[in-house]
Amino acid sequence: MNEYSGTPAGAGRRFALIVSRFNSLVTERLLVGARECLLQHGVDDDGIDVYSVPGAWELPQAAARVVGLGRHDGVIALGCVIRGDTAHFEYVAGEASRGLGEVARSSPLPVTFGVLTTDSVEQALERAGSEAGNKGWEAAISALEMADLFEALE
């Protein structure tokens, strides 16, 4: 039996962090978590590119363009959509998820999902750096492992 998996080895690798500015109280914490993860796993600070977009809706289109640059070993999308009183949440959260999934499936490099979809600001903050962890960190560790796996599959 042959088994393949990636390790979170970041030395010599370059990653793109695409972060939504909407709900910045939350997304800035996701960005800090993702960046700390990459640095702790050997990615040089110069190997981290941060691309800022207005909101979660814009994450898929930015991810597609960044993948096309050919500069990175992985793309980490970070955002936060908080449910309100209208159907806007479903449209934005659904399309951000669907769009990033489409980019990930068609990309030659890993695209990871660090987009929170919550019912409240409190839930979002809980997932962006409390005892429950930091979903930005989790998206970054996934990108590290997947970049290593993709390299092993070449």
Mean pLDDT by 10 residues, the chain (154 residues): 91 98 96 98 98 97 97 98 84 94 96 96 91 92 97 89
Q: Which pLDDT belongs to residue 154?
A: 82
End-to-end CA distance of the chain: 19
Give the bridge partners for 115, in sequence order: 79
**What pLDDT does 128 receive?**
95
Instruction: Please name the helix (run of DSSP H) or strand (run of DSSP E) that holds residue 7, with its range, or none.
Output: none
The confidence score (pLDDT) of residue 3 equals 87
- Residue 56: predicted pLDDT: 96
Q: Of these residues, 21, 65, 71, 88, which one is catalytic?
A: 88
Amino acid symbol at 69:
L
Taking a C-beta distance cutoff of 8 angstroms, is the pair 77, 111 a contact?
Answer: yes
pLDDT at position 84, please? 79
Backbone angles phi, psi at 80, to 5 degrees: -150, 125
Instruction: Tell me, yes or no, if 41 is annotated catalytic.
Output: no
What b/e readout covers 43-64, taking b as 16+ CB neighbours within 10 angstroms?
Answer: beeebbeebebebbbbbbebbb
Sign of the Cα torsion 43, 37, 105, 68 reads: negative
Residue 135: its pLDDT value, please? 97
